[in-house]
Structure 1
Amino acid sequence: MTGPAAVVVGVDGSDPAADAARWAAAHAARHHLAVRLVRAYRLPPSAAAGRDRLRELARRQLWAAARAAHAVHPGLVVEQLDEEGDPFDVLLAESGRAQTLAVGARGVGGVPALLAGSVGEALTREARCPVAVVRGHIGTDEELRGNGGTRPVVVGIDGSPASEAAVAFAFAEADACAAPLVAVHAWPDRAEESGIPFHYFTERAAEEREVLAERLAGWAEKYPGVRVSPELVRGGAARVLLDRSRAARSVVVGSLGRAAVARALLGSTGRTLMRHASCPVVVTRP
């Protein structure tokens, strides 16, 4: 990989990938970065003779994605890279110097790709930067160019180092686009779901709200212009965040990496959001 940090976009010729390029253009412009469009493709062993044809197709797809990005911000620096290789390996290498890695939620023809399958789950565990799954409502080109508005950035908080990284990303994003920030800490809505007596939730609610406020305090001082709404909510995290996604500009959550507990998290909250959220989902790592 060459050049300074950029917002990297995985391109595959699909409409969701074009939306990822549009989202990335707006995100990059707000953070004064370039966009780097990457089209990786594998050649079957018997297809060596078709290399030129595949490369030409990749370059046409990159050109279309660049056009989508420039429609949002005409003056944006947009780099294009077509590379022969495994998409996961190529994008993982690109993540090493990327500020954010963005992909569409579905591939060509509606077939789940990248983030919807095993490659995407691996990227959210192993990418060296936040991974944005661009889906749902992202707005028109004009809306993407503008800042402010009523749609908040929503961040899920569970007190882990992974959620601390999510909080950092969410505050920076809310500050850059002059949006409000909703910080959600969700509790299981029935005692039997967690094995904890029901009265525990009532007794600890005030304490947990104070802890949530303390976790946000340092970031609120760093970003005094961000309007923060802490929410302590009874309910499963996936359901609560899905509900908040309907009115959000993005939802930010943390991933713990390769551990079994992280795979369980992605199998519930993270995977549900990546497949069903009504807005882009950003997954961060510590």
Structure 2
Amino acid sequence: MTSPLPLPSIVIEPIVRSALLEDLGRGGDLTSDAVIPYDSTATFALTARQAGVIAGLDLAAYAFLLIESTIDLRMQRPDGSEIAAGETIASVSGPARSLLAAERTALNFLCRLSGIATATAALVEAVRGHKARIVCTRKTTPGLRALEKYAVRAGGGVNHRFGLDDAMLIKDNHIAIAGDIRTAIERARAAAGHMVKIEVEVDTLEQLDVALATGVDAVLLDNMSVEQLTHAVAMVGGRAITEASGQISVQTAPAIAATGVDLISVGWITHSAPILDIGLDAVVDVNKNKLLN
């Protein structure tokens, strides 16, 4: 799997800084400051507890370096890498107090984003051999959208809209208030700039027929059966991008991809993907029974 282009520092630094401030609170790491001598140094390994795909190493690095700039972090497997259980992803060395102060924030980002990348990769693998691409949605954690969509790319997926200003997506509530699909599309077309694409959500083949006759760039085929999707793709005949959505899983994705749709959009990969369990393990010299430094 190819490593995605890294996010700009200006995007991730404020998010990591805010997370560190939340964790450190008003008094800092009371436990480490009390238990660990000031001049203690240590080396830790970031180790995968289960197999998956890695994403978020830059955020983990920022968590450590914002606490102490002298920390040495060495990445062994870049974002986008498929890793096995027990495999070392990176190592960090430096002042022990600083490493422990940053530990949870670093792991929160790394486990969360790696979980999204792993879930995405499973769906990408499930539709391999078909043209359909796995795309995410706007169902993201508030404030973390750029990170979570980055994790989707790390897992081999593709991003849908980043926000409401990316494109026009006419959904069922828009249609209900506008009165009908044709009216909604015509109003959107009249307001859209030359760079703005228009997609419309349809629940039935009858709605699809009206949308195609009115003219759109893409159609969101929502909660249709495999039989309906097959018919819908034939109706579209390449005149618009086809996107299937609704109750997509690793088990159902292959049959949906086989209908010939261009995109399969999945909300749960960002809002409900389980974390990938990754730990920070002290590297110990077994002969001397002490932390390496």
Q: TM-score, normalised by structure 2?
A: 0.31
Structure (1/2) with the larger helix percentage: 1
Whose Rg is larger? 2
Given the two structures, how large is their TM-score scaled by the length of structure 1? 0.31
Return the structure number with greater relative CO, CA threshold 8 A, min gap 6: 2
